[in-house]
Amino acid sequence: MVLTILLGVLFTLLGFVFASFFGVVICRVPNGESIVKPASHCDSCGHVLKWYENIPILSYIFLGGKCKECKARIPVFFFIYEILGGLTICLAYVQFGLSINFLFASLITLILLLIGGYDYKTNTILDIFWIIFLALTIGWFVYRIVVLNHVWWHYLVGAAALGGFFLLIKVVFYLIKKVDVLGTGDVIFMAVAGLLLGYKTILIAVVVASIVGCIIELSLIAAKKKDRESPIPFCPYLALGVFVAMVYGESIVNLIIGG
């Protein structure tokens, strides 16, 4: 019991640290900057952060969300992003326990976090991200088929259905409005997500993504942080929906069928 809790705390802290590192990736990679040099610094005044100004979550709170030198605001996005990193890894651990399933689930949680955060800031998915996502998903797929005796076609139908659905949206919008509403990366991302989830739980991912996306986007518009014309990022909400379906999908389906 004590060990379980200690491990839970450790994994949560690791989630904070990874999210903090991904925050650096999200800021620097789109500008073609190195992720190791220079050291973390304030974007406004260039003040190099001391170690205690660079602790995930805590530093943001102690600094009051501002640079110590020039008092420029540190975007709250990164604070929320770090919390999300620790929270999601913790939830995956609570659900799967210390197991091979948790190993796959936690690694996939991290890549979903990276995909969602990167897309939120840049509106793109790097090829390397979905390739890692695909590799991890195939690994888990093989484990579930060979060791856990899951039904293989459940997952393939999931991939075809979710990937096909988003491909259809892309094609229809292109034919009618001549606009690319979805990137090819988004469609591939959803096909891999379908392979990860299986056909029974893909709908949960889409429903969660839609609800959370609507609430947050409408709140941002209401708070005048965004106007109606701003593009809506689909991918971050889908990444969250995929996470929820991955961790709780089976429980939710059992609840619906059983209840």
Binding residues (CB under 5 A) for Zn ion: these are 42, 44-45, 47, 67, 69-70, 72
Q: Report which residue type is found at 54.
A: N
Q: Report which residue type is found at 115.
A: I
For 98-128, the DSSP string reads: SSHHHHHHHHHHHHHHHHHHHHHHHS---HH
Nearer to Zn ion, 71 or 142 (CB): 71
Nearer to Zn ion, 48 or 148 (CB): 48
Minimum gap (Å) between residue 199 Cβ and Zn ion:
50
Minimum gap (Å) between residue 49 Cβ and Zn ion:
9
Nearer to Zn ion, 72 or 171 (CB): 72
Is the distance from CB of 84 to CB of 113 less than 8 angstroms?
yes
- Please measure the distance between the N-terminal and C-terminal CA atoms of the chain and give it in whole angstroms: 31
Minimum gap (Å) between residue 35 Cβ and Zn ion:
20
Is the distance from CB of 66 to CB of 74 less than 8 angstroms?
yes
Q: How far from 180 is each of 10, 183, 219, 230, 240, CA to CA, in Å?
A: 43, 7, 26, 15, 23
Minimum gap (Å) between residue 53 Cβ and Zn ion:
10
CA angle 60, 40, 42 (to 5 degrees): 65
Minimum gap (Å) between residue 231 Cβ and Zn ion:
30
Structure letter (DSSP) for residue 37: S
- Cis before 236 (ω within 30): no
